[in-house]
Amino acid sequence: MVKKVDYHGMAKTQLEERHQFHYPPYTRLIMLVLRSKNEQILDEMAAIYTQQLFKKSDTGISGPVYPQIARIQTWFVRKIIFKIELSKTISHIRKLLTEVQSDMQKNPRFKKLILHYDVDPQ
């Protein structure tokens, strides 16, 4: 399609694939980025965090994922991708994420992580 310069055909194909695999513009994404200097603790906590999200959510969750650049300087990085239907309210999701994070804060090993959220990543 690119060789034929068929922009509309390519856009249609891309949009169909994005709809099929639940990617924007048909869903919203929230990427949870976890960082730690200790890779073993990071992997363990990322797995537990993902399990907690699976238990409490009915939305699509992928991860933990090793990003293309899994280490930045002395920090190891893992990502969890949260796919949300456009019909769901963001306040419900915010409450869920806050609840899971509060539960995770009870684990002293979780305090060795840095967590941030990237809403609708590019």
- The CATH number given to whatever domain includes residue 68 is 3.30.70.600
Closest CA to 103 of 41, 42, 24, 45: 45
Q: Note whether residue 99 is domain-resident.
A: yes
What confidence tier does 112 reach under pLDDT thresholds 50, 70, 90?
confident
> What's the rounded Cα separation, in Å, for the pair 45 and 42?
5
Element (H, E) at 94: helix 90-105
Q: What pTM did the predictor assign?
A: 0.79
In a domain, 108, yes or no: yes
Element (H, E) at 9: helix 7-20
Range of the domain at 61: 28-119
Structure tokens at 57: 């959510």
> Which of 2-6, 13-17, 88-92 has the lowest average pLDDT?
2-6
The answer for 87, left when phi > 0, alpha when psi is -120 to 50, beta otherwise, is: alpha
Residue 79 lies in a domain: yes
Position 2 scores a pLDDT of: 58
